[in-house]
């Protein structure tokens, strides 16, 4: 039986496991999807070498960047982003070759593009982790927006949440939450932005899908802003993962 899986830590509920388990069942695919909760990225080779029928992996927090040194090949797009969330596993003789890709770009770009209006020229990316790098790539390279990262800390190339004011919200009308703030079970938390400055011109996108909507999106909707959760993005990512694994 072919095996696929997800590496990360901690994992908890996994959309990927649910999605692929349903896919394998409905399409009569003789495969299994397993959650591999790794306390350390140093455990990664053990997973790869222990399962001879392993065909592919998804990668989530905190290993989208840490897994890079373990890969034999990385797609041009994933290399530019600096993060991988899909790995194709090839067994050749007694050896294994690992190929890295990034489906976050595909899922996000295809999900947000239909919502973008002509006046959406600039975007704020909340967070600076592995997912935010893919979102930056999608917004700038694929969708042509000007982007600024927002961080809790002072660091080069970013602004802090304290720097955000009403003028920034009006100028950067697309706001994408790439942080875990507001994710279940902390559902009454939201990124610290000036929500009162939001209008119907703003578009808020949250990579979080549980809950749906998050408090971030609910507060945006209260001010007439267009909103979208990360659920469709996840589905599109999963579809892209399957293509990468079986290309």
Q: In angstroms, rounded to a whole number, what is the distance separating the alpha carbons of residues 167 and 147?
A: 15
| Residue 122 a catalytic site member | no
Q: What is the 3-state secondary structure (H, E, C) of 53-94?
A: CEEEEEECCCCCCCCHHHCCEECHHHHHHCCCCEEEEEEECC
Q: In angstroms, rounded to a whole number, what is the distance separating the alpha carbons of residues 211 and 226?
A: 17
Q: How many CA atoms lie within 13 A of 46 on its CB side?
A: 9
Catalytic residue among 64, 66, 92, 117: 64
Structure tokens at 158: 């970013």
Q: Where are the alpha helices (DSSP H) in the chain?
A: 15-26, 44-50, 76-81, 104-112, 130-137, 166-171, 215-222, 231-245
Q: Which positions are catalytic? A: 64
């Amino acid at each position: 039986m072919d095996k696929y899986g997800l590496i990360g830590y901690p994992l908890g509920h996994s959309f990927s496991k649910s999605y692929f388990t349903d896919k394998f069942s409905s399409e009569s695919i003789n495969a299994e999807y397993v959650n591999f909760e790794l306390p350390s990225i140093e455990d990664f080779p053990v997973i790869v070498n222990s399962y001879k029928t392993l065909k592919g992996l998804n990668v989530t927090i905190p290993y989208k960047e840490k897994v890079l040194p373990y890969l034999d090949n990385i797609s041009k797009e994933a290399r530019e982003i600096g993060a991988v969330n899909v790995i194709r596993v090839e067994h050749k003789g007694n050896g294994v070759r690992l190929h890295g890709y990034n489906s976050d770009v595909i899922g996000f770009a295809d999900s947000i593009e239909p919502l973008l209006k002509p006046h959406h020229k600039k975007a704020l990316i909340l967070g600076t982790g592995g997912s935010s790098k893919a979102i930056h790539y999608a917004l700038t390279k694929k969708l042509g927006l000007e982007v600024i990262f927002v961080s809790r800390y002072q660091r080069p190339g970013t602004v802090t949440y304290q720097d955000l004011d009403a003028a920034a919200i009006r100028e950067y009308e697309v706001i994408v939450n790439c942080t875990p703030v507001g994710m279940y079970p902390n559902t009454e938390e939201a990124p610290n932005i000036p929500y009162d400055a939001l209008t119907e011109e703003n578009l808020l996108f949250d990579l979080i899908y549980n809950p749906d909507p998050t408090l971030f999106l609910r507060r945006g909707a209260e001010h007439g802003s267009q909103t979208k959760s990360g659920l469709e993005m996840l589905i599109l990512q999963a579809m892209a993962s399957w293509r990468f694994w079986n290309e």
